Amino acid sequence: MSNNESASVYIDIDDALKRVGGNKALYKKLLGRFTDGNYLEAIETALQSGDMEASAREAHTLKGVSANLSLEAVRALSVDLEAKIKAGEDYSGVLSDLQEAYVITKEKIAEVE
């Protein structure tokens, strides 16, 4: 696995490997589960239905999963989104940024060796 500079904005592989005791195979397996998951879709569905409690809960879940995998951009934006939803503030800009970071992060995951 290499940790090139542009990827590190999205994935901190060195940090993630510390979390899994250096087990690259386990980390790749966990990344695969993230990629197969529907975390962002769950947030969007809850928001579209107007369920702010579920939206905040789904953002919290994404925050935790992305933190555990050291997916830095998604983690940071999930923190912001959860806070804005809970505060009843306009979350549209953060959601848009999260959608973009989520797509890029999935692309970066595909490049992990």
DSSP codes of every residue in 44-102: HHHHHTT-HHHHHHHHHHHHHHHHHTT-HHHHHHHHHHHHHHHHT---HHHHHHHHHHH
% of the chain residues with pLDDT over 70:
94
pLDDT at 5 over 60: no
Q: Which domain holds residue 51?
A: 5-111
pLDDT of 32 strictly over 50: yes
| 2 has pLDDT over 80 | no
Please tell me the pTM assigned to this model.
Answer: 0.89
76 CA to centre of own chain: 8
CATH number, position 12: 1.20.120.160
Q: What's the domain count of the chain?
A: 1
Whole-number pLDDT of residue 109: 93
pLDDT tops 60 at residue 6: no
Q: What is the tens place of the pLDDT at every residue in 61-88?
A: 999 999 999 999 999 999 999 999 999 9
